[in-house]
Amino acid sequence: MDNHIRVDASSGADRIAKKRATEDVEMEVGGNDFNTTIFIGNLPFVAGEEELREHFTSCGKIENVRIVRDPRTFLGKGIGYIMFSEKEACREAVNMHGTSFKGRELRVKKAVDPKRLEKK
């Protein structure tokens, strides 16, 4: 059906739900590669991963798409992350800042490790 799936290691549903509730903004990308990952803000709450993938596919090969969602309603929280295969694709994607996606102007910037933000 031309959809992508993401498979994560399981460590218990209760533990995962608690972790997401307390760290919902922290990115859960394999390897935490912030050199090839962008942060996207101002997403529509009903946006889907496949739609977002399609919007950014012209930038380069996409490894992972994650939209941060409310754990109870599964509605998006208006932010997401896209991890690309190469740095150049990430740089190209940052140039899409301000583009329209489902009627909203996207905020696009390079993702930053949340641990670096805590030190400021």
Q: What is the pLDDT of residue 113?
A: 83
Q: Between 116 and 119, where is the model more confident? A: 116
Q: Is the pLDDT of residue 82 over 90?
A: yes
Q: What is the pLDDT of residue 116?
A: 77
Determine, yes or no, domain membership for 13.
no
User: What is the residue-averaged pLDDT of the chain?
Assistant: 83
Cβ 44 vs Cβ 104: under 8 Å: yes
Determine, yes or no, domain membership for 58.
yes
Cα 7 to its chain centre, rounded Å, is: 15
Give the predicted TM-score (pTM) of the model. 0.74
Q: Is the pLDDT of residue 28 over 50?
A: no
| pLDDT tens-digit map of 33-57 | 889 999 999 999 999 999 999 999 9
Determine, yes or no, domain membership for 6.
no
* CATH number for the domain that contains residue 48: 3.30.70.330
